[in-house]
Amino acid sequence: MNQLDEYLASNKQRYESELAELLRIPSVSADSTHRADVAKAAEWVADQFRRMKLEVEVVPTAGHPIVVAESPPVEGAPTVLVYGHYDVQPPDPLEKWISPPFEPTVRDGNIYARGATDDKGQMLTHVKSAEAWIETAGKLPLQLKFLIEGEEEVGSANLDKFIAANKQRLACDVVVISDTSQFAAGQPAITYGLRGIAYYELRLKGPDRDLHSGTFGGAVANPANALVTMLSALIDASGTVDLPGFYEDVEPLTAREREAFAKLPFDEKAFMEKIGVSDLYGEVGYSTLERRWGRPTYDICGLTSGYQGEGAKTVLPATATGKFSFRLVPEQDPKKITAALKARLTELCPPGIEMELAEFHGGRGIVVPLDSPYVAAAEQAIEDGFGTRPVFMREGGSIPIVSTFRELLGVDTLLLGWGLDDDNTHSPNEKLCLADFHRGIKSSAHLWQHLGELK
C-alpha cells in the first residue's frame, strides 16, 4: 500500500486538473439545451475507463446515457458495484455564484463549481483509486463494476429498467456510493441506514362550488374542517403516530445504536440556528438524532383549500387537499400502512364529503447490519484515508437507488460520503473540499484492498 499511497500523493495535481476538466462540462440533465454536454460528460467518464483498459459501454437510453464499465473478476475476492452520476443540477440563480458555475475555481482549499460534491467530485474518487491500483499494481485486488448514470438529478427514469434488465451483468456482493456527507468537517461517517417513505394526497370534496360561509355555514360538512380533523387525528400530542398497527413492525433502535448516536458530536444549538427554529420537537422519549434517523414520522407536506389571497373571504370551500408522508423505518411495510390509513380516514370522513386517497411512491426503510464485514472494511479504509475512525450514522431521507439495489440485486450499499453538509448541494457556490477529495481517493483505494481480502 505504500507504493499506492505515494502514487496518490504525487498525482494530486493531476487529479485536481481532471476534476476541473469534468466540472467544466455543463452536464445539466434537466435542461434539453445541454443534451450534448450531458453526452460529452458521459464520454469523458467512459474515456477514463477506456484508458484503464476496463470493459466499457456507453448505454443509450430514452434520456441520457448510462456509463457501464467493469474490471476482470478476481478469483476469491468479492465484486463491488460503484454507483455514481455525472449529471448535475441546473446552476440557477446564476447571479448568486461568486465564480461562474462551470469555471471551477479554487478558494480556501475548496473547489467551487456545479457538481463539485454532487456527484462529479465524489464519484471521481473511486475512478481515480481504481486507476491508481492499475497504474501501480497492474490490476485491481477485486472486481469493480461501475454504473455511472446521467439522470440522477431528474429522477433516474431509465436506470431502474436498465438494472432490472441487466441483473447478471451488474451482479455484485456489495454496492459503494459516495454521494452523501461526512457527519461534520473532520469527522467522516458511514451511513448505514435510510428511512423509507409512504406519500399520500388526501382530496376531500364537499359542495360542488365554494359556498358563502354565512348563508351555508352550519348546513354542510366543510371540507377544510374535515381535512384538519382527519389529518390531525393521525398524530397525538406526544408526537406519536395514531394509526392502528403503525408501530407493529418497527425495529427498535438497538442499545448500541442509541449509545453511538448519543456520543456523536451533535450540537443541538447549532442545528437549531442552522434551520432557524427556537426549539426542537418530536416523538417523546427519543433524542433528535434518533427521531430523524431511526423513528418513523408523519409530516404534512402541503395544504390547499379555499381562499388563499390577502385578507378575508367568507367562503366555505368546495374542496380541501393535503399532501403528507410517513417516513418509515425497517421493517414497516408501506402497503400495510396504506391499508390501515385508508380504513382510518374512511372512518373519520364526515357525511357529505367525498374522499379520495392518492398514493404516491412508497419504499421501505433500509439498514445495513453494522456487523457486516463490508462495513468493517469501509471503517478501516476511511480511517486509512482520513486519519480518523468514521462514525456510524443513519439518514432520515430515502435514497431510492439503494432500495433498488436491495430489491433487484439483493445487495446492501455502503454510503461513504466525502462531502460536507455546507457544500451547497443544489444551490449556488457548490463546493468540495480538495483535501477531502484526496482523502476520499485514498480511502477508496484502501477500500478495494480491504474488501479484496474478504472472500
CB of residue 293 to a second copy, shortest distance in Å: 8
User: What is the DSSP code string of 410-448?
Assistant: --EEEEEE-B-TTS-TTSTT-EEEHHHHHHHHHHHHHHH
Comparing CB distances to a second copy, the nearer of 98 and 237 is 237
Decide: is 295 part of the binding site for a second copy (CB under 8 A): yes
Q: Applying CB under 8 A, what is the total number of residues that bind a second copy?
A: 78
Comparing CB distances to a second copy, the nearer of 214 and 410 is 214
How many Å apart are CA 5 and CA 372, to the nearest integer? Answer: 26
CB of residue 365 to a second copy, shortest distance in Å: 11
Among 5, 18, 57, 201, binds a second copy (CB under 8 A): 201
- Given a contact cutoff of 8 angstroms between Cβ atoms, the answer to whether 385 and 444 are in contact is yes
Residues in the chain: 455
The piece of 93-101, 129-137, 280-288, 366-374 that touches a second copy (CB under 8 A) is 280-288
- For the annotated catalytic residues, the residue numbers are 87, 152
User: What is the DSSP code string of 98-143?
Assistant: SS-TTS-EEETTEEESTTIIIIIHHHHHHHHHHHHHHHHHSS-SSE
Q: Which of residues 377-396 bind a second copy (CB under 8 A)?
A: 395-396
185, three cell numbers: 468537517
- Given a contact cutoff of 8 angstroms between Cβ atoms, the answer to whether 363 and 334 are in contact is yes
Comparing CB distances to a second copy, the nearer of 17 and 232 is 232
Decide: is 351 part of the binding site for a second copy (CB under 8 A): yes
CB of residue 150 to a second copy, shortest distance in Å: 22
Peptide bond into 257 cis (omega under 30): no
CB of residue 205 to a second copy, shortest distance in Å: 9
**Binding track, positions 206-245, relative to a second copy; x by CB under 8 A:** xxxx-xxxxxxxxxxxx-xx-xxx-xxx-x-x--------
The piece of 157-165, 250-258, 282-290, 406-414 that touches a second copy (CB under 8 A) is 282-290
Give me the amino acid identity at 428. P
DSSP state of 88: B
Cell 480556501 locates to: 108
Q: Which of residues 397-416 bind a second copy (CB under 8 A)?
A: 397-398
The per-residue b/e assignment along 97-118, b for 16 or more CB within 10 angstroms, e otherwise, is beeebbebbeeeebbbbbbbbb
Dihedral sign of CA atoms 158, 130, 414, 111 in order = negative
CB of residue 413 to a second copy, shortest distance in Å: 16
Looking at 185-287, list the stretches that DSSP marks H as alpha helix, in order from N- to C-terminal side.
213-216, 223-232, 255-263, 268-275
Decide: is 283 part of the binding site for a second copy (CB under 8 A): yes
How many Å apart are CA 79 and CA 145, to the nearest integer? Answer: 7
Comparing CB distances to a second copy, the nearer of 168 and 308 is 308
Decide: is 277 part of the binding site for a second copy (CB under 8 A): yes
Comparing CB distances to a second copy, the nearer of 107 and 212 is 212
The piece of 42-50, 64-72, 244-252, 290-298 that touches a second copy (CB under 8 A) is 290-298
Decide: is 102 part of the binding site for a second copy (CB under 8 A): no
CB of residue 335 to a second copy, shortest distance in Å: 17
Decide: is 338 part of the binding site for a second copy (CB under 8 A): no
Decide: is 307 part of the binding site for a second copy (CB under 8 A): yes
Comparing CB distances to a second copy, the nearer of 66 and 328 is 328
Decide: is 256 part of the binding site for a second copy (CB under 8 A): no
CA–CA distances in Å: residue 392 to residues 63, 192, 264, 304, 416: 36, 7, 9, 39, 10
Among 352, 372, 373, 406, binds a second copy (CB under 8 A): 352
Decide: is 72 part of the binding site for a second copy (CB under 8 A): no
User: What is the DSSP code string of 163-202?
Assistant: HHHTHHHH--SEEEE--SB-SBTTB-EEEEEE-EEEEEEE
CA–CA distances in Å: residue 217 to residues 206, 210, 229, 354: 12, 11, 17, 18
Comparing CB distances to a second copy, the nearer of 327 and 364 is 327
CB of residue 339 to a second copy, shortest distance in Å: 19
CB of residue 152 to a second copy, shortest distance in Å: 16
Among 41, 111, 316, 409, binds a second copy (CB under 8 A): 316
DSSP state of 378: H
